Structure 1
Amino acid sequence: MNCSIASALDVVGEPWTLLIVRDAFYGVRRFDDFQENLGIARNVLTARLKKLVEAGVFRKTAYRQRPLRYEYRLTDKGAALFTVIVGLKQWGDRYGIASRNGKPMDLVDRTDGHPLDPVLIDAASGRRLELTNVRAVAGPGAQQATRDFFDRLALSRPPTR
């Protein structure tokens, strides 16, 4: 499928995968710590970590030689998933039922500890992005079928004034 979202889901769309990445953002690096915190079966965790390493989301580095033990560190590619995790957190805070007593986790500024309320903005203009002020169009990497899809959508929209 000629779609960046579909390509991303090929890497991170399996159950457990984004929770592993989330824990890495919290600072978890070692297999046993992922397993203990998530309660995930060891064989499932092994498979997910292997796929994330192969996809370049994590790099595997030895921290002990005898017995050989590894830790998993986010690469730049993995760190770029931060916005996805924050978006899912915000959606879960707003619509989820994780806690009736409030949000289970907050984000705070690392230097001063002040609470943060992240928003999605356009880097060039600084404008806040919302569903009501953006639309999707075919990009430079779009295949003809994708261009045709967006052309059909454009034709079905009422003209703007």
Structure 2
Amino acid sequence: MSLNGLRSLTCAVAKTVSTIGDPWTLMILKELFLKNRRFDEIQAMTGMSPHLLSVRMRKLEQADIVRRQAYLERPKRYEYRLTEKGISLWPVIITLKEWGERWHEWPSGVPLKLRHASCGHEMQLELSCSRCGDGVGPRDVTLEMSSDMTAERRLMAGAQV
């Protein structure tokens, strides 16, 4: 299945991966969260070619994850700002950061720490139940697939036989 084929599946993860799942897009998002908003800054920090960066930025604009905003009129220059939809990807980027810190070696210490602006303490992302507040992990939930997703998965499994 192609990356574009993921968009047609009845699966939130597949649809998300089809939009932001390539490494360059994730690196662009990381830079935007690090407050690098200008094309040349993002290019320098990611090492992407100008063409590749342009293609990915257009895709993010079309998905309403970023918007261009003029910061200079003559010559016309733009910076890229995360939309609300883009800002909601923050937990995704932070989870990738924390996974990398846990499973890779950092002889000089982790490269980036997060401090809670209100209290000043170092913090990590935590998943908790929105009802009771208890922490949750993959062993603490049950899954309920929609009938559409169940039917689609059966069809896909049958095609594999």
Q: TM tier, shorter chain? A: 0.7 to 0.9
- Tell me which residue corresponds to 2:87: 79
Q: 1:127 aligns with which of 134, 143, 158?
A: 134
- Tell me which residue corresponds to 1:111: 118
1: CA distance between counterparts of 2:26 and 2:53? 12
Task: Check conservation: 1:12, 1:18, Cα contact below 8 A.
Answer: yes
2: CA distance between counterparts of 1:14 and 1:33? 20
CA-atom RMSD, angstroms?
A: 1.8
Q: 1:13 aligns with which of 18, 21, 34?
A: 21
Q: Offset at 1:123? A: 1.4
Q: Offset at 1:100? A: 2.4
1: CA distance between counterparts of 2:138 and 2:149? 24
Structure 2 CA distance for partners of 1:76 and 1:86, relative to 1, 3 Å: same
Percentage of identical aligned residues: 35
1: CA distance between counterparts of 2:119 and 2:47? 33
1: CA distance between counterparts of 2:12 and 2:96? 18
- Tell me which residue corresponds to 2:68: 60
- TM normalised by structure 1 equals 0.84
1: CA distance between counterparts of 2:14 and 2:118? 36
- Tell me which residue corresponds to 1:23: 31
Task: Check conservation: 1:61, 1:70, Cα contact below 8 A.
Answer: yes
Secondary structure at 1:70's aligned position in 2?
Answer: strand
> What per-residue deviation string (whole Å, max 9, x for no partner) do you get for residues 116-140 of structure 1?
1221112122121101111322148
Q: Offset at 1:90? A: 1.1
2: CA distance between counterparts of 1:144 and 1:133? 22
In the alignment, residue 77 of structure 1 is paired with which amino acid? K
Task: Check conservation: 1:138, 1:147, Cα contact below 8 A.
Answer: no
> What per-residue deviation string (whole Å, max 9, x for no partner) do you get for residues 7-65 of structure 1?
00111011210111111111111101101111111111111101000001001111111
Task: Check conservation: 2:61, 2:67, Cα contact below 8 A.
Answer: yes
Unaligned runs of 5+ in 1: 150-161
Unaligned runs of 5+ in 2: 1-8, 156-161
- TM normalised by structure 2 equals 0.84
Task: Check conservation: 1:17, 1:48, Cα contact below 8 A.
Answer: yes
Structure 2 CA distance for partners of 1:77 and 1:126, relative to 1, 3 Å: same
Secondary structure at 2:97's aligned position in 1?
Answer: helix
1: CA distance between counterparts of 2:130 and 2:80? 31
1: CA distance between counterparts of 2:135 and 2:63? 31
Task: Check conservation: 1:57, 1:77, Cα contact below 8 A.
Answer: yes
